Amino acid sequence: MVTVDVEEERKEIIRRYRKLLRKAKPFLKDDDAKLIKKAFNVSLEAHKEMRRKSGEPYIYHPLAVAQICVDEIGLGTTSIVAALLHDVVEDTEIELDEIKADFGKKVAKIIDGLTKIAGVFDYGTSQQAENFRKMLLTLSEDVRVILVKLADRLHNMRTLGSMPRHKQLKIISETIYLYAPLAHRLGLYAIKSELEDLWLKYTETEIYNGIAEKIAENKTSRARFIRNFVSPIQDELNKTGLNFEVKGRPKSIYSIWNKMKKQDIPFEEVYDLFAIRIILDTEHEAEKAACWQVYSIVTDFYTPNPDRLRDWVSTPKANGYESLHTTVMSRTGKWVEVQIRTKRMDEIAEKGYAAHWKYKGGPGDSHESGLAQWIEKVREMLEQNDTNAIEFVDDFRANLFHDEVFVFTPTGDLKILPFGATALDFAFDIHTEVGAKCLGAKVNNKLVPLNYPLKNGDQIEILTSVKQKPTEDWLRFVVTSKAKSKIKDTLKEARKQAASDGKEIVKRKLKQMKIPFDGDVANQLRAFFDEKTITDFYYKVGKGIIDASEIKKYKDVKTDKTRPQRAKPLGQHYIDDMTKVKTAGKDILLIGEDMDMVDYRLAKCCNPIPGDDVFGFVTVNEGIKVHRTTCPNAPELLSNHGNRIVKAKWMSDQQNAFLAGLRIIGTDRVGLMRDVTDVISNELKVNMRSISIDTETGIFDGQIMLFINSTVHLEELSAKLEKVNGVMKVSRFDSVDNNEGM
């Protein structure tokens, strides 16, 4: 048992509290320090008996969250108080009314937004999604609720090492699925990058450590390269009299890994491993001219890549990000990204939304409006949305992480829409009625269809017709939440009307057949026509998909034969699946809290094999499906459906065959394919299911689906194949089917 030095802990708590006060001191007013002290004492008392999984006193956590709010986001007293108290209502006896009485409405509102909804949820719904929706309801009134939540999440991610694996998976999946995109949308790039890096650290630990080591190894040579690269630029900048600072920073581990994965290249071939940042200290009125002056100096010394110029100084991103980016060729033959921005722009880029308030009311106020508009859109989404929480979260998320397109109305007004937005999205952005009646559009004076994807600089005129109505197909043409929500509302209304018409038709038909109409008969008709719900049945009758004359056939069939067994509720499927014991001789995977052997299926989207890190997912109608933790669908499943996740672990390597995919790239030569298949079939006695080969300009690219026993077996096979003459790279790939049904 670990002995606790109570006196030493008390000193450490006070030290951390004083550090927080020191950082907050520059902006404290009137009684702010007293209020922070009061919040600290309430939190200390409320959490006094509690400890974190690491064994530390719980108070360390709220203190750390408050420190992040001050240091890394730049928030003030209200947020510090809310951070110190953010867990007391959920975890202790203190009520929200007490917080309101002692610390005011604003603090209470933020804490309410951060407090999870208690209670039992129906099977198949998502508590995480409901809690997220509740938090966003508060965000639409006070953005600080999300900023404190991001600080809370960042500290939880930094201290994740002490948590059990299944809890780690849940937290990291929510982080990559929702919180990192949210930090990005609010312009908190430093926090977004750290959250992504920590996600990678806990999902692909070896890859993360490998990239981190390589970055550390290159530190000295990188510093030398940066010195030589910036030397002529600094000399020239000194002559201009501009105040400036030059920084060289490596790209985040996650962004390097992402590039390696997308381009299928090793670390050594990632050309922009770091960026040079030139930060100017200049008056707001002179910012744009100064940035372009520096760009001119940089390109005097180094040739720029014309396709890599990004001007977010003239047109800032919707989250307020401003900077001028260019990629230039250095004298050593390496591409280098150069970012040019002012001190104000840099602070906004690092601290995001909170930093805007420092400049609000000044000339930079227009840049804050992009975020204000986004929060207004969130408010609209919440008001319009009557879908379930999971659909809402998916819609919301779809609008978080997109790049943007800048387009213009016929009168020259600028509209910023998510990347991938279509003419139909633009129509709904103008007005709901314009969207609903949209027939097509003129882009740059040329006629285009509804699904035309918008490009930067397009000028769009929407064509409408009173006869036009939204259809199901429209949902495939739009990416914005506003458009999706409005189309769904219109379709729901039309569906409701068709179902009502269908019900009347059914009643008339039954009356003609002298069959009394009641709930049982309606349910028997639904079963007879094999529809999921009675509304679906009425809708199809109303739309003529089921001919009314077909109802006569129902009369000729005996009721007891047509009445199906009642469908089991989703929860029952889960219980049944968890109690079916696997028969001996089959592959063994332990599933559930008690680590039982139960029936399961392997998900086709990621083809898990023994040795992979996996989890079980209880599907609606296919029992338990097992996914790899690195599956493309894992973040969504773990974030939105935590109540349907079960632990899963391979007991040992079994001599059974599992399907896996290998991609082989090399230089084409006569006999290469024969040598590859010899290694697979003869040396290691592996069966192949399929093979596809593409050769172009001397490059051999083969994809082989084969049956192997475990990850160890697969690694052994990959190592042998890499030794074949001409083979340059062997990598595992997942199935192309990335949309497993739930």
**Residues in the chain with pLDDT < 50?**
1, 119-124, 361-368, 558-587, 653-654, 736-738, 741
Distance CA 148, CA 152 (A): 6
Q: Where are the alpha helices (DSSP H) in 273-413?
A: 287-301, 343-351, 353-359, 365-384, 389-398
Determine the length of the chain: 742
- Residue 137: CB partners within 8 Å, gap ≥ 6? 113, 382
CB 129 within 8 A of CB 640: yes
CA dihedral 134, 138, 139, 141 (to 10 degrees): 150
Distance CA 195, CA 157 (A): 7
Q: CATH number for the 369-482 domain, one of 1.20.210.10, 3.10.20.30, 2.40.110.10, 3.30.70.2080? A: 3.10.20.30
Class of domain 6-162: mainly alpha
pLDDT at 74: 83
Distance CA 293, CA 236 (A): 11
Classify each residue of 383-403 as buried b or exposed e, where b means 16 or more C-beta atoms within 10 Å of its C-beta: ebbebebbbbbbbbbbbbebe
**Positive/negative CA dihedral, 548, 552, 557, 558:** positive
Q: Where are the alpha helices (DSSP H) in 592-684?
A: 634-640, 672-677
CATH number of this structure's domain 658-733? 3.30.70.260
Distance from chain centroid for Cα 658 = 30
- Catalytic residue status for 49: no
Distance CA 715, CA 9 (A): 47
Residue 343: closest CA among 353, 335, 351:
351
pLDDT at 382: 65
pLDDT digits (tens, 9 = 90+) for 462-514: 988 888 888 888 888 888 878 888 888 888 888 888 888 888 888 888 887 87
Helix axes 534-542, 519-528, angle to 10 degrees: 70
Residue 371: closest CA among 394, 407, 400:
400
Distance CA 460, CA 414 (A): 11
Angle at the Cα of 275 from the Cα atoms of 274 and 276, rounded to 5 degrees: 130
Classify each residue of 677-690 as buried b or exposed e, where b means 16 or more C-beta atoms within 10 Å of its C-beta: eebbeeeeebeeee
Distance CA 278, CA 291 (A): 9
Q: In this structure, are strands 274-281 and 335-342 parallel, antiparallel, or unpaired?
A: parallel
Which of 91, 95, 473, 504 is the catalytic position? 91
Distance CA 249, CA 256 (A): 13
Distance CA 311, CA 314 (A): 6
pTM: 0.68
Q: In this structure, are strands 699-708 and 658-667 parallel, antiparallel, or unpaired?
A: antiparallel
pLDDT at 602: 86
Q: Where are the alpha helices (DSSP H) in 5-68?
A: 6-24, 32-46, 60-68
Residue 30 falls in which region: left (phi positive, over 0), alpha (psi -120 to 50) or beta: left
- Catalytic residue status for 90: yes
CB 614 within 8 A of CB 626: yes
Q: In the 8-state DSSP scheme, what is residue 125?
A: S
Which of 31, 90, 383, 547 is the catalytic position? 90
Class of domain 215-364: alpha beta
CA dihedral 701, 706, 710, 711 (to 10 degrees): 10
DSSP codes, 232-245: HHHHHHHHHT-EEE
The domain segmentation of the chain, as residue ranges, is 6-162, 215-364, 369-482, 488-545, 570-650, 658-733
Q: In the 8-state DSSP scheme, what is residue 471?
A: -
